[in-house]
Amino acid sequence: MNQTHLTAVDWLIMILYFVFVLGIGFALKRYMKTSKDFFQAGRALPAWICGLAFISANLGAQEVIGMGASGAKYGLETAHFYGIGAIPAMLFVGIFMMPFYYGSKARSVPEFLRMRFDEKTRALNACSFAIMTVFSSGISMYAMARLIQVLHVFDAPFMALGLPMGYIFTFSIVLSAIIVLAYIFLGGLTSAIYNEVLQFFLIIAGFLPLVLLGLRNIGGWGGLKAALPVAYMHEWRGVTHASTNPMGIEIIGLGMGLGFVLGSGYWCTDFLVIQTAMASKNMDSARRVPLIAAIPKMFFPFLVILPGLLAIGLPTPHTTTVTHTVNGAIVRDTTVVPQQIEEGRGLVPAKMNPVTGKPMYMADGQPLLDYDMATPNMLLHFFPTGILGLGLTALLASFMSGMAGNVTAFNTVFTYDLYQSYIHKGASDRHYMAVGRWATVGGILLSIATAYAAINFNNIMDTLQLVFSFVNAPLFATFLLGMFWKRATGHGAFVGLIAGTATAMLHHGLTLPIEAHPGIHGGWITVLHGYPSDMAQNFWGAIFAFSANFVVTVVVSLFTKPKPESELVGLVHSLTPKQPVLHDQWWKTPEALAVAILLVAVGLNIYFA
């Protein structure tokens, strides 16, 4: 079951995708005349393209594999990453924050911080952001190479050419790096955005039939419910106390930590997604971008979480011997299932110790499951050759566009916020565009280095949430105060950010999820407090980081001199003139769209409570 037998038609589809990806890059090359074209897509793209790119930028490894893994591990509760962790923040950034991002004409999020606060706040944010994008892109790359290896995608061609199998990991990394590099090098942000939209539709094309087949096999929604423990199928059940829900997180940690701090910290401040909105053609479009993105986002749990639930709910294959008589002779057909799969649950295999080749067990004797394989195994289980090629292409596309979003965010921040600001001021536009192209090369090389260093965690989602809680969680307090409190000062923001990140690290060093060993999972200073799960630890860490930043920024601001109000017009809510009303009908406004989305999101949550 774990063997992938790709035939010519699968390769054809995969190659066709690569041809189009590169073709789009080449077709866009002639439009790249100024650095604005390259870094900001000329600020000329329609809202629907930017909106789909907005959610696709986030639809990398952490989403497709990680959400499937979380679905298999925690059940429908994973959908909170959407309902609480994304939708409200996306509406908030569209309605309340985009007027300042887009209206300020800042070219990047760190540049906005320089306009609103000061140079050092920008430098701090630009540096931490640059490191984070490289890290994320490296994780995408690593996940992709590992998946290619595990699914044996390149085994047959490698065998045919007589190349050693050990090079598949490296070959996968180099191949994805070259493709992403080529299309960004040629077409800049436009190329990245176009490919993100392409990938958005590919994911639907590859995963919708998977979910439909999976549901049909298990007997529809009712069959899935019957196959799984009750807690798995409810988003909200048992959420009042950590011990009564699969994720081990209670309502305050969830609402505050995921919803208010981590969700907003990511969707409202991360330049990775904000860059797509900033590339749209006018203010009205820019505000609509996150809202348009929120519409498919509401329904994505069905595409990315459900495969995980289905994988764990389907019957576990066992070695079976069927005895039957053919012409009087007794024939025994034995289907041998590897131990890795037999020890797993459903289609989720057990984790194998790479040294001994035996399954790994948890403290309570249960096998440790390799949740990251939930979604890929679903593909292999249900898809015959042909559509399997499409499914694998969708997976590869999601990894590459996840990388691409990070790489374009990196090259912009590096060029505008680090190179132009501190290394070489006042050069020609042409020069900065060349620097941007070479920053792309540098960013990808650093990602490759990170990919080799990203092998220590078993759940990619947790890794990313941890990084976000260090860097992004305190950040939202800075933006909230910056945009809605005119008294906030640069010194306050700078000290607050450092205090926030320091608090996040301190919290991580002092707490530990139960059943984890001190080290990379926390408790590396000393263990003062234990959490029921690593998720709970992340969410609470984010709450502490946000609060520390908020309090420190306010206190320091009150003791330091604020910027004159004239310099803050267009950057702070109370000092910015109201937007002229563009639409005659109230229902055409972004606000009306936001309210409609909110109602549907609440409806979905009630239905699946």
Partner 1 sequence: MNLDLRIPMGMMFTLVGAILSVFGLVTMGNPMYERSLGINANLDWGLVLLAFGLIMFFFGRRGQKAALLAPPEPESGDPVRRGH
φ, ψ (nearest 5 deg) of residue 190: -60, -45
Instruction: Please tell me whether residue 201 binds partner 1 under the rule CB under 8 A.
Output: yes
Q: How many residues does the chain have?
A: 609
Instruction: Please tell me whether residue 240 binds partner 1 under the rule CB under 8 A.
Output: no
φ, ψ (nearest 5 deg) of residue 487: -80, -15
The CA distances from residue 356 to 120, 259, 352, in Å, are 51, 42, 8
Answer for which of 217, 316, 421, 458 binds partner 1 (CB under 8 A) is 217
Instruction: Please tell me whether residue 310 binds partner 1 under the rule CB under 8 A.
Output: no
216 or 529: whose CB is closer to partner 1?
A: 216
Which residues, numbered 149-178, are part of the site for partner 1 (CB under 8 A)?
none
Q: How far apart are CA 20 and CA 27, in angstroms?
A: 10
Task: For the chain, report the end-to-end CA distance as a whole number of angstroms.
Answer: 35
Instruction: Please tell me whether residue 18 binds partner 1 under the rule CB under 8 A.
Output: no
Q: How far apart are CA 171 and CA 178, in angstroms?
A: 10
CA 365 to chain centre: 32
306 or 493: whose CB is closer to partner 1?
A: 306
- Identify which range of 29-37, 61-69, 178-186, 475-483 contacts partner 1 by CB under 8 A: 29-37
35 or 465: whose CB is closer to partner 1?
A: 35
- Identify which range of 92-100, 192-200, 338-346, 527-535 contacts partner 1 by CB under 8 A: 192-200
Instruction: Please tell me whether residue 494 binds partner 1 under the rule CB under 8 A.
Output: no
Answer for which of 4, 6, 22, 24 binds partner 1 (CB under 8 A) is 24
Instruction: Please tell me whether residue 15 binds partner 1 under the rule CB under 8 A.
Output: no
Contacts of 222 (CB under 8 A, 6+ apart): none
Q: What is the DSSP letter of 20?
A: H
Smallest gap from residue 36 Cβ to partner 1 (A) = 6
- Identify which range of 24-32, 357-365, 503-511, 569-577 contacts partner 1 by CB under 8 A: 24-32
Three-state secondary structure string covering 155-217: HHHHHHHCCCHHHHHHHHHHHHHHHHHHHHHHHHHHHHHHHHHHHHHHHHHHHHHHHHHHHHH
Instruction: Please tell me whether residue 209 binds partner 1 under the rule CB under 8 A.
Output: yes
43 or 234: whose CB is closer to partner 1?
A: 43
Answer for which of 387, 446, 471, 548 binds partner 1 (CB under 8 A) is 387
Answer for which of 28, 64, 130, 312 binds partner 1 (CB under 8 A) is 28
Instruction: Please tell me whether residue 375 binds partner 1 under the rule CB under 8 A.
Output: no
Smallest gap from residue 403 Cβ to partner 1 (A) = 20
Q: How far apart are CA 142 and CA 452, in angstroms?
A: 7
Q: Is 66 exposed, middle or buried (0-12, 13-18, 19+ CB in 10 A)?
A: buried
Instruction: Please tell me whether residue 6 binds partner 1 under the rule CB under 8 A.
Output: no
Smallest gap from residue 385 Cβ to partner 1 (A) = 7
Which residues, numbered 103-122, are part of the site for partner 1 (CB under 8 A)?
105
Q: How far apart are CA 481 and CA 33, in angstroms?
A: 37
- Identify which range of 44-52, 82-90, 134-142, 350-358 contacts partner 1 by CB under 8 A: 44-52
Strands 320-326 and 329-335: antiparallel
Q: Is 162 exposed, middle or buried (0-12, 13-18, 19+ CB in 10 A)?
A: exposed
Instruction: Please tell me whether residue 383 binds partner 1 under the rule CB under 8 A.
Output: yes
262 or 418: whose CB is closer to partner 1?
A: 418
Element (H, E) at 288: helix 283-304
31 or 485: whose CB is closer to partner 1?
A: 31
Residue ranges of E strands in 272-382: 320-326, 329-335
Alpha helices (H) along 454-517:
460-484, 490-510
Smallest gap from residue 473 Cβ to partner 1 (A) = 32
Instruction: Please tell me whether residue 213 binds partner 1 under the rule CB under 8 A.
Output: yes
Answer for which of 351, 381, 491, 563 binds partner 1 (CB under 8 A) is 381
Which residues, numbered 260-299, are part of the site for partner 1 (CB under 8 A)?
281-283
CA 537 to chain centre: 19
Q: How far apart are CA 389 and CA 485, in angstroms?
A: 52
Instruction: Please tell me whether residue 396 binds partner 1 under the rule CB under 8 A.
Output: no
| Residues near partner 1, by CB under 8 A | 9, 12-13, 16-17, 20, 23-24, 27-28, 31, 34-36, 42-46, 49, 102, 105, 190, 194, 197-198, 201, 205, 209, 213, 216-217, 281-283, 381-387, 390, 429
